[in-house]
Chains A and B, each alone.
Chain A
Amino acid sequence: MPLIIGLIGLCLFPFFARAYLVEVAMMYFIYIILAQSYRLIVTVHDWQLYHIVLYGVGAYTSGMIAKNFGIPVFMAIPLGGAMASLVGVAITTPLLRTKGWGFYIATYGLAELIRLSWLKFRNPFGGSTGIINIPWPPEIAGIDFSAGIPYYFFSLGVMLAVLYVLYRIEHSHIGDSFKAISMDPDLAASTGINIPRHRLLACGIGGFFAGIAGGLLVHRLGAVDPKLFNLVTMLYLLIWVVVGGTNTFWGPIIGVTVMNTLFELSRPLIQIRPAFFGLSMVLVLIFMSGGIEGLISKVVARWQRRHDMPVAET
């Protein structure tokens, strides 16, 4: 029920809000796709640091094929996703045997190789200024998707579709195997789960949706540059996911909504803003593991117990 009210609210929102707020809302949708696709990878316990580069791969691929080869925008975006998925698998495969921390650093290093090649090769990637004049989406059936409100609904639709697919994956057999791997890899392996294959699968699916998010971004901004995808952006992604909580599906959505709202509101404090976000992540990790979502479910459970209601399984 709250879900339906929320959806109606999201549908009415662009007709009443200022144009700027509509743009901000689109960024929320893109970030939610990004955070949610990252969470899928986190469920296999691969806290990699290159997700933001896959987002960039999607953005660069989609932008470049639409600009240079005239591929329609709505086809370029999924192609960008496919490319990001391939790159993610290509980065992960040779380093699957490295353990824990070594895996995070090594894959991050390889992703940095990709990001630096955007910086280094002016042709075709445009160097530090990036690529401009990336085509807007076309007009379809009389609706001009390069305008704010149609693109708002387009990105909302994509987000809902992605969330639906990820939700289904999490509650499928594959999703159960992912969780088994993160809880106890040895036990999971002994029950016949092929761990490397599942890690690659998570990485491929997550990478695909990260690439979709990148495509959505680039055809709205009309430009792309390597700075958008550096370690700082990755840290913000981590902050959203960690502060929101990774135990359930809703955590990253809450995380993006809360943290990005604080981010927008704290624009006047732009210099010291990173310290606030960094500190909030440290404090959440130490005192509130489970994040905001974990806190909410704890409070709800306590309330239910006090009122003699059946306690929901968490």
Chain B
Amino acid sequence: MTTQLLIQTIANAISASSMLALIAVGLTLAFGVMQMANLAHGHFFMVGAYTVYALYALGGWPFWWAVAAAVAVGAVIGLIVERSIFRPLQGDVVGGFIATAGLMFVFEVLMGEIWGWGLSRPIPSPYMIPFRIMGAAVAFQRVLLIPFAIVSIGGLMFFMRRFRLGRALRAVAQDPEAASLQGININRMTALALAISGAYAGLAGGLMSPIYAITPSLGGHLILPALIVVVVGGMGSIGGATLAAIIFGFVITFVTTLIDGVTAVMVSVSVMAFVLAIRPQGLMGRVVA
């Protein structure tokens, strides 16, 4: 491995970590507040990517407006899923989990029918100039993701600690019954959690859309790494998800560069199994009695 390739791979790994973190933070937030696992979360990302495709590549909107629209679309989808699936199934963990598995099929077919099957949709990157660092060239689109991830995840952590609404979210996550006795409207909190979750997935999807080959099966490919990150981080822990996203971003990028993509998944599930065999609650998860 030459120094140039090494630097390039590190840069790509940081970018991949940022993307994984953006996806996983939303997933873990939804889990923490509702105890519901959203298997269709990868499909939120995909819908965000298609939004940018429709508005920016086809509609001629400015790229940033299209990304803002993707965030909004993600939040709205999160709200719809919360209202139509998670709320009726509140308390039924297995039911919610399986229902979102069914939802994966629905999203996939919907996107395939609207935008066409099989073909990947090319989106021209608004920034064609590569980012140069110490002799290595990294696509600017990938670098862009890093500040966004830092600001939005840092912002979310700040919001959860310092704002009344964020503290209310954490209260619901810890004990919904006690929280509702304090006058917190639980339904409003779960809706907020899913809206944030969807918005973050939409943001990641929108920003990454010029890099990924967008096909209806994109969501299905992304969900496994995202789930691994959430489980290893400790379900419901935003800090844990971020830490795990960094670990797996590096593992996946390095193994993919050195060997291939299939091996990268194999190595990451092995790492996951190893961590969970030792710490069943994940890196930063709380032990639930």
Contacts and interface: CB of A to CB of B under 8 A. Distances in A.
Nearest to A42: B94
Nearest to B230: A105
A102 B282 contact: yes
Nearest to A230: B220
Most buried by B among A97, A120, A286: A286
Most buried by A among B84, B97, B112: B97
A94 interface: yes
Nearest to A112: B269
B31 interface: yes
Nearest to A98: B280
- Interface residue range, chain B: 35 or more
A278 B103 contact: yes
B262 to A, nearest CB: 5
Interface of B: 31, 37, 84-85, 88-89, 92-95, 97-99, 101-106, 108-110, 112-113, 117, 220, 224, 227-228, 230-231, 235, 262-263, 265-266, 269-270, 272-273, 276-277, 280-282, 288
Contacts of B265: 112, 116
A95 B228 CA distance: 14
B249 to A, nearest CB: 17
A179 B227 CA distance: 29
Interface string A277-311: 11111100110010000000000000000000000
Nearest to B234: A102
Given A116-B265, A275-B110, A106 B276 contact: yes
A21 B78 CA distance: 43
A172 B281 CA distance: 34
A242 interface: yes
A101 B37 contact: yes
Given A278-B102, A278-B105, A286-B99, A271 B270 contact: no
Contacts of A275: 105-106, 108-110
Contact of B276 (A102, A119, A235, A289): A102
B88 A278 contact: no
A101 B98 contact: no
A11 B161 CA distance: 68
